[in-house]
Chains A and B, each alone.
Chain A
Amino acid sequence: MTDRISIEKKVLSENDRLAGEIRALLQARKVVALNLVSSPGSGKTSLLEKTIGALSGTIRMALIAGDVQTENDANRLKRAGGKMVRPIVTGGACHLDAKMITRALGELDIEDIDLLFIENVGNLVCPASYDLGEDMKVVLISTTEGDDKPLKYPSMFRRSSAMVINKIDLMGFSDFDLAQVRRNALSINGNLNIFETSCRTGVGLDGWYDWLRRLIAAKRA
């Protein structure tokens, strides 16, 4: 005779609790927080470098850059002009969790910032499960990847609010079908905001910057 005890607990309740605290802290300071996710090499760091260059005169930004190993991304963001940059080296973990963000935020002066970027570890699977207290996830995909990636990693595309299709300047050098990737992504998440950009040529970045400005204005309102 076995004794079944009902407990009904979320496995990630501790992560969710910390994420809730982060969200409340950022909300109180009217900071827009975006969690950038993608496969390795889609251009998260490049997009942030461009964004720092274009907006740091008018928008106060902090950046947390996660990597399995090395602080290379954080160093790139600093070289691009990022004033408040914290690296997180996970030492093997395939995702960032809320505890890492809490620690990193403790080392940043977020009192007077408008926008916090969290650059997650390059991985379209694991980071989907971990709430970091962000307002939104932004998923990147590049034209050198398969246009069926949204179908292969539906959870991440479903949980994201925006999708940036990067390396648009390389269209034509691969079989990537722009209309197809949009259809695939929208069949999983009909409310995705979609941007087509090239961080190399700058094409499409103005639309991305405008969207960021609108998010910040809406948060302050």
Chain B
Amino acid sequence: MHELSIASSIVETVTAEMLLRGLTSIGKVGLRIGALTNVDPEALRFGYETMVVDTPLAGSTLEIESLPVKAICRKCGHSFEAHDFIFICPNCESADNEVTQGQELDISYLEAE
């Protein structure tokens, strides 16, 4: 249950951004979360919404874009989606590959009210 720690990091970052940009309230926080991060969106939403009560972020919600895991084969150069986290190249069956998507845990945007 590290979603609370993650939510707390989001609150810190968003609070700093609001201060920097002179925003007094916020509507939505856009996130991009890769499937390799083990972050459960519902637990994260719950943690965030609980945490922002009585803060300048109160009432804001998370808009989460979930990203599947993708990799590129080091042997044949084929790009593929790692369904069920199986990292075997469907083209040449090599297990030597590099993750190109799925490790994101990013705040992509804020939407003011």
Contact = CB atoms under 8 A, between A and B. Distances in A.
Interface in A52-109: 93-95, 97
A189 interface: yes
Interface stretch (A6-14, A110-118, A135-143): A6-14
Contacts of B97: 190
Interface residues of A, number: 34
Interface majority SS on A: helix, strand, loop or mixed? mixed
Contact of A11 (B99, B106, B109): B106
Interface string A185-217: 011111100000000000000000000000000
Nearest to A5: B110
A187 B87 contact: yes
Given A126-B38, A129-B37, A11 B9 contact: yes
Given A2-B27, A128-B38, A187-B95, A7 B87 contact: no
A161 interface: no
B31 A11 contact: yes
B86 interface: yes
B94 interface: yes
A159 B101 CA distance: 14
Nearest to B9: A11
A8 B105 CA distance: 10
Contacts of A97: 5
A142 B94 CA distance: 27
A5 B21 contact: yes
Contacts of B24: none
Interface in A150-185: 151, 154-155, 158-159
Given A7-B109, A95-B2, A97-B5, A158 B95 contact: no
A188 B87 CA distance: 5
A158 B99 contact: yes
A15 B8 CA distance: 12
Interface string A1-32: 01111111111111100000000000000000
Interface majority SS on B: helix, strand, loop or mixed? mixed
Contacts of A11: 6, 9-10, 13, 31, 105-107
Bin the interface of chain B by size.
Answer: 35 or more
Contacts of B106: 8-11
A9 B13 contact: yes
A5 B9 contact: no
Interface of A: 2-15, 93-95, 97, 125-126, 128-130, 151, 154-155, 158-159, 186-191
30 contacts: A2-B111, A3-B111, A4-B109, A5-B109, A5-B112, A6-B108, A8-B108, A9-B17, A9-B107, A10-B105, A10-B106, A11-B10, A11-B105, A12-B9, A14-B9, A15-B9, A93-B2, A126-B2, A126-B5, A126-B38, A129-B39, A151-B84, A154-B36, A154-B85, A155-B38, A187-B86, A189-B87, A190-B94, A190-B97, A191-B95
Interface of B: 1-2, 5-6, 9-10, 12-13, 17, 21, 27-28, 30-31, 36-39, 84-88, 94-97, 99, 105-113
